[in-house]
Structure 1
Amino acid sequence: MSPVRRGDKLPIYNRIGVLRAERKLTRAQLAEMVGVNVQSVGALERGDNYPSLDLAFRICAVFDLPVEAVFSRTEFGAMSAELYRRPDSHDSPTSDLGGAR
């Protein structure tokens, strides 16, 4: 047995379903591309199972994204909110104009 104490599993959230839909891939197509069965893809998308590190890397390679863009320990927000978030007040274009508006 490993000397590492095993506690409760921490959740692993993912964007597999969103990314797969974006690329118009079926679960069966993604499963074939990463070498697992279609039920495994469904279980991953639902969060019923967590991928091995190897499988996570294979999935990320299909989407051409880093692991952090596909998997996270915290829930993902809406992609649109991340992509189109408003800049902080100190990042606004008028802040470089010396207070002019």
Structure 2
Amino acid sequence: MAFSERLAFARKQKKIKQADLGKMVGTSGDIIGKYERGENTPSIDVATKIADALGVTLDYLVKDGEYEQIDKETLKRLQDIQQLTPENKDHVFALLDAFLKQVKLQSIM
């Protein structure tokens, strides 16, 4: 998926109009439309503002990859976990593993 497609998808998911996103990042809705159609490409500074306004990472907007759809809230939590002691990380991962296992079991029942 290209930058233009990811931008349009993320904006629509947040139910933000092009004009409103333009105001949020200091440009116009027409320019946002050009970004979404692939007619123009924003500078890194503008792309960063767009990512912040949409609550996604810059990586999500500009890169293809396994973790392209990690939102900022999830990323922040992962960074917080990374700061924990190894023992506390083990506890968090054990809880997470148990929860994910339960959800998977419920989905197949």
Which residue is 1:60 aligned to? Answer: 51
- Larger radius of gyration between Structure 1 and Structure 2: 1
Mind listing any 5+ residue stretches in structure 1 that lack a counterpart? 1-11, 80-92, 94-101
Q: Structure 1 length normalisation: TM-score?
A: 0.57
Structure 2 residue aligned with 1:28 = 19
Q: Does the alignment pair 1:50 with 2:36?
A: no
Aligned to 1:13: 3
Percent of residue pairs identical = 28
Question: What letter corresponds to residue 55 of structure 1 in structure 2?
Answer: V
Extract structure 1 runs of 4+ deviating beyond 3 A: none
Any gaps of 5 or more consecutive residues in structure 2?
Answer: 70-100, 102-109
Distance 2:33 2:57 in 1: 21
How many Å apart are 1:29 and its aligned residue?
0.6
Deviation at 1:38, TM superposition (A): 1.2
The alignment's C-alpha RMSD in Å is 2.1
2:28 alignment counterpart: 37
- Report the AA paired with residue 45 of structure 2: D
The answer to which structure, 1 or 2, has the higher relative contact order (CA under 8 A, 6+ apart) is 1
Using the TM superposition, give the Cα deviation of residue 63 of structure 1 relative to its aligned residue in structure 2, in angstroms: 1.7
Number of aligned residue pairs: 65
TM-score, normalized by length of structure 2? Answer: 0.53
AA partner of residue 62 (structure 1): A
